[in-house]
Structure 1
Amino acid sequence: MSDDLFAEQLLQSIDFLQKKLLILPINNNTQVAVFGGSHWSLLILSIQEKILYHFDSMSLSNDRTAKEMHKKFEAFFHDNINLINTRCPQQKNAFDCGLYVIVIVEEFKRFIYENCILKKFDDQKLDKDLFEKFINEISQCMTPESINQRRKQLKAILESMRTDRKK
């Protein structure tokens, strides 16, 4: 089975078209059957709006992978999808891309909860204005220092899990 066919079947199995969003971490590894790749970034697809937002903490290091995914979404939908390379807090080293993806997803989850769910905007479209508000928020709150702090928190959680498993 081809990767494209597998992806299409997977999306259909989760009732993808009934969702508002797809949050998808992407890696620049072109050989999906082999571990590898050197960079992670994040795609958020607003299904209703047909907009694919790309968050890349190393400028456009993952641009080619994002464009490949963009083409696959257009083929899946049989429609045009707008790809937007968003402003994104930038990492200051060569190894924090995965942490940036994790923190952006956490912040996005918090943002959607506070701005849509708590305010009972169940039918609100996740349009460009709402995403712009989110982008402005993460630009202010995500700093190399906050990412470093999150790394320490995640390390402590993992060490705790390892300790618990040894018991």
Structure 2
Amino acid sequence: MDRVVLSYGDSLLRSSDVALLDAPHWLNDNIIGFTFEFLASTLAPSTAERVALLSPDVSQFIKCCGKDAPDFLQPLELPKKDLILLPVNDNAGTQAGGSHWSLLAYFCTVREFLHYDSSPGTNTPHAQLMARNLSSILGGNPHYREEEAPTQHNSYDCGMYVVCVAQALSEQYFRGCTNLNLQNITPQYVTQKRTEWKEIIRGLSSHSKATSAH
């Protein structure tokens, strides 16, 4: 039975989703969406209002339809954000799917998109399309650049690299770091993070059950 393990904000995780945190599994939209939502909730209020960690479904919408439906994205107030983080998938359709994740980051202060791909070059066309569509919403003509990123050493950790890089960027950027450091995101670090995220989910689930029992 694929039971519900956790309901957190807009995220609903089932046992089959959480099982993907065990290697050698590829993370799906649900897990990445939850991690982004959780990371956003851990930011200080003054920081949280300046950053947007977008879910995979919203990011896919921007890639496929964003420039044609700016009203749909208006509530997100993206032009007011200092940092926007978007998971990129190589799926060409509007539905969930695809086989590779990467991360697109928009830095307002320098008006630049940086694309972090743990398998360099794999998602470039998808990230460029997403950046073009988002540019029409943000206004102006931001620069796009492929940024050096930690490299995956297997065929299944791309989603975990997205989560790890997103966490590092959101933490370092708002501490005023001018040179963002991603060197600690090694294969060993990524494996460790799989375990840590399982513990976070387990803790939230236990707390939710304890709260509902009272």
Q: Do the aligned partners of 2:102 and 2:115 also contact (CA within 8 Å) in 1?
A: yes
Give distance in 2, aligned partners of 1:74 and 1:84: 14
Counterpart for residue 46 of structure 2 = none
Counterpart for residue 158 of structure 1 = 201
Counterpart for residue 65 of structure 2 = 3
The residue type equivalent to 1:18 in the other structure is K
Give distance in 2, aligned partners of 1:74 and 1:165: 40
Counterpart for residue 81 of structure 1 = 142
Alignment of 1:130-149 (within 5 A): 130=178, 133-134=179-180, 137-138=181-182, 140-149=183-192
The residue type equivalent to 1:36 in the other structure is G
Q: Do the aligned partners of 1:22 and 1:45 also contact (CA within 8 Å) in 2?
A: yes
Residue deviations 1:12-46, cap 9 Å, x none? 222222221211111111111x2211111111112
TM-superposed CA distance for 1:71, in Å, is: 1.8
Give distance in 2, aligned partners of 1:69 and 1:82: 13
Counterpart for residue 117 of structure 2 = 56
SS at match of 1:3: helix
| TM-score computed with the length of structure 1 as normaliser | 0.76
Q: Do the aligned partners of 2:78 and 2:138 also contact (CA within 8 Å) in 1?
A: no
Give distance in 1, aligned partners of 2:209 and 2:134: 44
Give distance in 2, aligned partners of 1:166 and 1:48: 43
Q: How many residues get paired?
A: 146
TM-superposed CA distance for 1:78, in Å, is: 4.8
The residue type equivalent to 1:21 in the other structure is L
Q: Do the aligned partners of 1:73 and 1:81 also contact (CA within 8 Å) in 2?
A: no
The residue type equivalent to 2:150 in the other structure is P
Give distance in 2, aligned partners of 1:106 and 1:78: 26
The residue type equivalent to 2:84 in the other structure is L
Q: Do the aligned partners of 1:57 and 1:88 also contact (CA within 8 Å) in 2?
A: yes
- Give 5+ residue unaligned stretches, structure 1: 117-129
Q: Does 1:38 align with 2:124?
A: no
Counterpart for residue 92 of structure 1 = 153
The residue type equivalent to 1:146 in the other structure is Y
TM-superposed CA distance for 1:110, in Å, is: 1.8
- 1:113–1:93: structure 2 CA closer, same or farther, 3 Å change rule? same
Give distance in 2, aligned partners of 1:47 and 1:11: 17
- Give 5+ residue unaligned stretches, structure 2: 1-63
Counterpart for residue 119 of structure 1 = none
Counterpart for residue 17 of structure 1 = 79
- 1:21–1:114: structure 2 CA closer, same or farther, 3 Å change rule? closer
Residue range with higher mean Cα deviation, 81-90 or 70-79: 70-79
Give distance in 2, aligned partners of 1:161 and 1:16: 29
- 1:61–1:114: structure 2 CA closer, same or farther, 3 Å change rule? same
Q: Paired residue for 1:65, among 126, 130, 136?
A: 126
Q: Do the aligned partners of 1:74 and 1:80 also contact (CA within 8 Å) in 2?
A: yes
Counterpart for residue 124 of structure 1 = none
SS at match of 2:156: coil
Give distance in 1, aligned partners of 2:207 and 2:138: 45
